[in-house]
Structure 1
Amino acid sequence: MDVTQTVPGTELVRRATELVPLLQKHASWSEENRRMHDEVVEAMADAGLFRMRIPKRYGGYESDTRTLTDVTAQLARGDGSVAWTASVWCIPGWMVGMFPDEVQDEVFGTPDVRVCGTLSPTGNAQPRPGGVLLNGQWGFISGALHSQWQEIIAMGAAPDGTPMPLMMLVPMSDLEVVDDWHTAGMRGSGSVTTVARDVFVPQERVLPLPAVLQGQYASKLNAESPMYRAPLLGVAAASSVGTVIGLARAAREVFFERLPGRKITYTDYGSQAEAPVTHLQVAEATLKADQAEFHGYRVADLTDSKGRSGEPWTLEERVRSRADVGAVCQLGREAVEVLALASGGSSVYSSVPIQRIARDVHTVNLHALMTPQTNFELYGRVLCGLEPNSFYI
């Protein structure tokens, strides 16, 4: 592999766009089987999408978050579950770059490696000579069925014995997978539960989460990379918005595909396209989608500009990034709902994509780090001069 290669963001977006028909082809299969189709995963690997947030020395592209937003927005036009899973893989994959360089050598030694994960500390890690003994279970692990590693958070102890969350990397072969992903939306993401039973994790694959959240990373070789000059939650925020932006675009596309020839039942309109109510609906949905894109690209551009300059993030910028994500989710969901309600009774059939798009965007709005009202409250607290009431900023 030529580790000096670079791929412009425009080329990656073009490749993602070319995958849309394939994603649409397999979307129903993914819904039924509650996982991504193997052909889709292989096509994404061939397109280089799993290298976007990997250091260049391993053959990665170190793509900026605007590129990631553009790519996932295109993928969401084909299947929201694929876009969501791609963005999730990009976040823990980026997080691998925080670990000591020898750990990165181990993880990134696998071509097109995929790392899943979560920030929920639903496990415990007991100190052992040379590492920790891990037990626990973690839900909503998107992409686990196609991953080689999982980034895990568990409660451990600081050097003085006080409780402290730890971040670690564990091979998927050391974990059990519980097939429990029976959901209303994002079914194709395969976001199953994983379980650790007395798994030993060597110390070099363990980092204190408080230090990570403050940008204190263990890698020496990544220290000067613009991609790593950003707080974890800022990167997570910027990496997540593309899916909702793309779902709003997809809703508009499928609505207009069905519009020609459709009538409004029990009215004298011969064409839905001629009805003033339709004009109001498509204008409202389009403007909401436009607003969602403003907030999405604002947080992506903030992440990229800070990474290039090396300037530290202010507290207000940190919490605003969470608020921007909330705004993207709320506005994107509202845009989709307007068009879904305007799509008529026939749109409830599973063969009509708008119903899947509506379920997917609703599901994203339920994510704990993306729920609009929680994020707005956090932002408002800081604007009012109070301390943030969340560890995750």
Structure 2
Amino acid sequence: MTATAPVAHPLQENVSKVLPTLREHARWTDDNRRIHEATLDALVGTGALRMRVPARYSGEETDFATLQSVIGEIARGDGAAAWNTAVWSMCAWLAGLFPDQVQDEVFADPDVRVCGVLSPSAQARPDGSDMIIDGRWAFVSGALHSQWQVVLAMAPAPGGDGVWPVMALVPTAELQLEDDWFTSGLRGTGSITTIADNVRVPMERVLPLPLVLQGQYATELNQASPVWNAPMMATGSACFAGAAVGLARAAVETFHDRLPGRKITYTAYESRREAPVTHLHVAEAAYLADEAEFHARRIAGDLDRKGLAREPWTLPERIAARAALGRTFRQAAGAVEALATASGGSGLYSTDPIQRIRRDVQALNLHALMHPDTNAELYGRALCGLDPNTSYL
């Protein structure tokens, strides 16, 4: 039982053609904790890294359904590459919120890669027409292959009323890179720590995060685009959901590809295919993979529909997008776990893709902004008539 898939976009077809390259280098990427150059070159060649570059800079500026499907297709070959593509897409979208003259600088190369995190773990202070930023950011996926980073820092709020978080664009060449990404999952993303030491940023490259979260963007030219007529968190939810769906599909394909001719050791089953326990596992995995895709597509569909109609997003809709993302991640992890369990001891070998898929999807489910339990609690609060306990909506 499989949900009806949308017609493949040329970008998705391009990615399908390079899946052998992604799969060939996926283990190297995992072992070396960064994307293999051949994988990166293949992704650049498909155009997938231009999905959130404005069309006026030769970007693809695709709809959200296409974005999600392409990222899911990449995940069929390499989960780390899919995650980084989601990050680069989301951060390019963030760059598209800045004044148009700033975008001229960032998108001068349409294949530019912008990384970033949303934790305001640094400090910023005004200095004339600039902002001076000091601090560090962990979990910066794709930093090793990025030219710019979206950084967040706490800065003095207007009127001297305490501090508030600001978002800034900084060339990665002006940051120090600390290779501390030693993890169990998503190892190939190279999600290292970056450090700013007295980095000077022009004020035009600084935006107040509270205004961004309220949909008050500095760009003028992107305001007419359905892609940027969307809330920040719902946009991120659509990007990252694709990686989880793709990993679930990759697990299903991996399991069925090696099913013929396998038996269940220490039983009378000479064919694993004929064992009822296998039927239960594959059915459960198919259910969960389909359910993950359902929730992911719902986020993308809402973004495309409301963006074209220029409809505002209500608070319940914003909360529902995060809830759907958490559910996507949980169901995808369940699908992978069912098939990893059905794979038996052979699935533990590093040569077996399913153990990497399992570690990657587990890592997704630990992300603070996407954790299924956190997002379910947020959704439950709303259903109980309580105010959300976060501004990241």
Cα distance per residue 1:230-283 (max 9 Å; x no partner): 010010011110111011001011101111111111111111100111111100
The 5 A counterparts of 1:28-67 are 28-67=27-66
Give the counterpart letter for 2:141 in structure 1: S
Gaps of 5+ in 1: 1-7
The residue matched to 2:267 in structure 1 has which SS? Answer: coil
* Letter of the 1:16 counterpart: V
Partner of 1:25: 24
Instruction: Give the letter for the 2:285 counterpart.
Output: A
Describe the SS at the equivalent of 1:22: helix
- CA deviation after TM superposition for structure 1 residue 113, in Å: 0.3
Structure 2 match to 1:352: 352
Cα distance between partner residues in 2 of 1:307 and 1:111: 23
Q: Which residue of 1 aligns with 2:135?
A: 136
Letter in 2 for 1:288: L
SS across alignment from 1:223? helix
Match of residue 172 from structure 1? 172
User: Whole-Å Cα distance in 2 between the matches of residues 354 and 218 of structure 1?
Assistant: 44
Q: Give the conservation status (yes or no) of the 8 Å contact 1:91–1:236.
A: yes
Give the superposition deviation at 1:375.
Answer: 0.1
Structure 1 counterpart of 2:166, which letter?
A: L
- Say which is worse superposed, 43-52 or 241-250, in terms of deviation: 43-52
Structure 1 residue runs of 4 or more that deviate by more than 4 Å after TM superposition: none
Identity %: 54
CA distance in 1: counterparts of 2:223 and 2:251, whole angstroms = 41
State the distance in 2 between where 1:74 and 1:233 align: 22
The equivalent residue for 2:212 is 212
What code does the residue aligned with 1:47 have?
Answer: T
Give the AA of the match of 2:29.
Answer: S
Q: Retained in 1: the 8 A contact 2:53–2:110?
A: no
**What is the aligned partner in structure 2 of residue 4 from structure 1?**
none
| d(CA) in 2 for partners of 1:32, 1:54 | 31
Whether the aligned pair in 2 keeps the contact of 1:73 and 1:242 (CA below 8 Å) is: yes
Q: Give the deviation of 1:9 after TM superposition.
A: 6.6
Is 1:145 aligned with 2:144? yes
Counterpart CA distance in 2 for 1:263 and 1:390 is 50
1:1-393 maps to which residues of 2 (within 5 A)?
10-161=9-160, 162-393=162-393
Q: Is the 8 A contact 2:181 2:191 kept in 1?
A: yes
Structure 2: distance between partners of 1:80 and 1:57 = 30
How far apart are 1:302 and its partner, in Å?
0.6
Can you list the C-alpha shifts for 1:22-70, whole angstroms capped at 9, x where unaligned? 0100011111110001111111111111211111110011101111110
For 1:381 and 1:222, how far apart are their aligned partners in 2? 34
CA distance in 2 between partners of 1:370 and 1:207 (Å): 24
Provide the C-alpha distance between the structure 2 equivalents of 1:9 and 1:174, rounded to a whole number of angstroms: 40
By how many angstroms is 1:111 displaced? 3.3
Q: Normalising by structure 2, report the TM-score.
A: 0.97
Q: How far apart are the structure 2 equivalents of 1:337 and 1:288? A: 10
Alignment partners' CA distance in 1, 2:298 and 2:216: 25
Once residues 229 and 36 of structure 1 are traced to their aligned partners in structure 2, the CA distance between those partners, rounded to angstroms, is 32
Q: Quote the offset at 1:134 in angstroms.
A: 0.2
- Cα offset, 1:167, TM superposition: 0.4
Contact 2:59-2:110 within 8 A present in 1 as well: no
Summarize deviations over 1:133-164 as a string: whole Å, max 9, x none. Answer: 10010011111000000001100012112211
The amino acid that maps onto 2:32 is N
CA distance in 1, matches of 2:361, 2:166: 31
Count how many residue pairs are aligned between Structure 1 and Structure 2. Answer: 386
| Residue of structure 1 in register with 2:3 after alignment | none
Matching residue's letter, 2:165 = P
- Once the two structures are superposed, residues 200-249 of structure 1 have per-residue CA deviations (whole angstroms, 9 ceiling, x without a partner) of 01100000000001110111111111111101001001111011101100
Cα distance in 2 for partners of 1:131, 1:213 equals 23
RMSD between superposed Cα atoms in Å: 0.9
User: Match of 2:4?
Assistant: none
* Aligned equivalent of 1:5: none
1:3 aligned partner: none
Where does the alignment leave 5 or more consecutive residues of structure 2 unmatched?
A: 1-6
**AA at the equivalent of 1:282:** V
Look up the SS of the partner of 2:367 in the other structure. Answer: coil
Contact persistence 1:9–1:63 (CA under 8 A) = no
2:121 and 2:9 mapped to 1: Cα distance? 39
One-letter amino acid matched to 2:305: S
